[in-house]
Amino acid sequence: MKRKKVIIALLIAVCLLGLLALIAINLYMVNYSRQYILDDDSVKDLEAEYIVVLGAKVYKDGRLSLILDDRVKASVKLFEEGRVPAIIMSGDAQREDYNEVDPMKKRAIELGVPEECIITDTMGLSTFESMKRLKDEFGVDKVIICTQEYHMYRAIYNARKMGIEAYGYPAEKIDYANQLQRDIREAIARVKDFILVLFTT
């Protein structure tokens, strides 16, 4: 009985430590990245090599999810300011039955971006991989990232820890369905990427 109580106490202690670590890492990452998120006024004075749009769900018929469509719209709005010459669409296009980047590119062209100003990265399988490839494959030094604010903190953190001068221009704030689930997944993903950055950069 005594041994069982000790085991239970240890399990509770481990769970509490894990929860504290999750909270601490999330607070650190958000506070670190917050200063690099731009609004409409501050972004007008910033020049960069590329705008980067991070992929999200695309439906089987090629339609962008609302979240992804808002990211593309934000990138087009920023592109139209004329201070950033090209957009990188980074997402998953490694399966025959699923492609994020081609529909992203098509949507940006529909909204007025010249095709020659759009670059596609078909191996952006995660936020971490997208940022790593910006540095390793594209040799990028300075970017403006377009995604939702809840996701922006992690993207900026990853990029800057990899040596990229990254800023964020968030998609317009709206209430998305199932946002609480996304927030929970994002909190866990921040811990995962914190560890990846710590041991691989």
Q: pLDDT tens digits for 66-92?
A: 999 999 999 999 999 988 999 999 999
pLDDT value of residue 184: 95
What is residue 10's predicted lDDT score, i.e. its pLDDT? 84
Distance of CA 194 to the CA centre of its chain: 14
Residue predicted with more confidence, 143 or 4:
143
Q: Which helix (H) or strand (E) holds 9?
A: helix 2-34
> Burial level of 195, CB count in 10 A (0-12/13-18/19+)?
exposed
Classify strands 87-90 and 50-54 as parallel, antiparallel or unpaired: parallel
pLDDT of residue 126: 96
pLDDT of the residue at 173: 77
**Neighbouring C-alpha atoms within 13 Å toward the C-beta of 89:** 29
Determine the topology of domain 2-200 in CATH.
Rossmann fold (3.40.50)
pLDDT at residue 157, rounded to an integer: 98
pLDDT of residue 170 exceeding 80: yes
Contact yes or no for 167/38 (Cβ under 8 A)? yes
- Mean pLDDT across 50-59: 96
CA angle 96, 92, 187 (to 5 degrees): 140
pLDDT on residue 115: 97
Per the document, the length of the chain is 201
For 100-125, what is each residue's pLDDT tens digit?
Answer: 999 999 999 999 999 999 999 999 99
Q: What whole-number distance in Å separates Cα of residue 77 and Cα of residue 127?
A: 22
Indicate the average pLDDT of the chain.
Answer: 94
Distance CA 37, CA 14 (A): 35
Give the pLDDT band (50/70/90) at residue 4: confident
> pLDDT grade, residue 11 (50/70/90)?
confident
Token match 């695309």: residue?
58
pLDDT at residue number 5 = 80
Give the pLDDT confidence score for residue 42 in this predicted structure.
87
Question: What dihedral do alpha carbons 64, 66, 68, 71 form, nearest 10°?
Answer: 130
Question: Measured at the alpha carbon of residue 104, what is the angle toward residues 110 and 67, in degrees to the nearest 5?
Answer: 105
Quick one: average pLDDT of 116-140?
96
Instruction: Please tell me the predicted confidence (pLDDT) of residue 49.
Output: 96
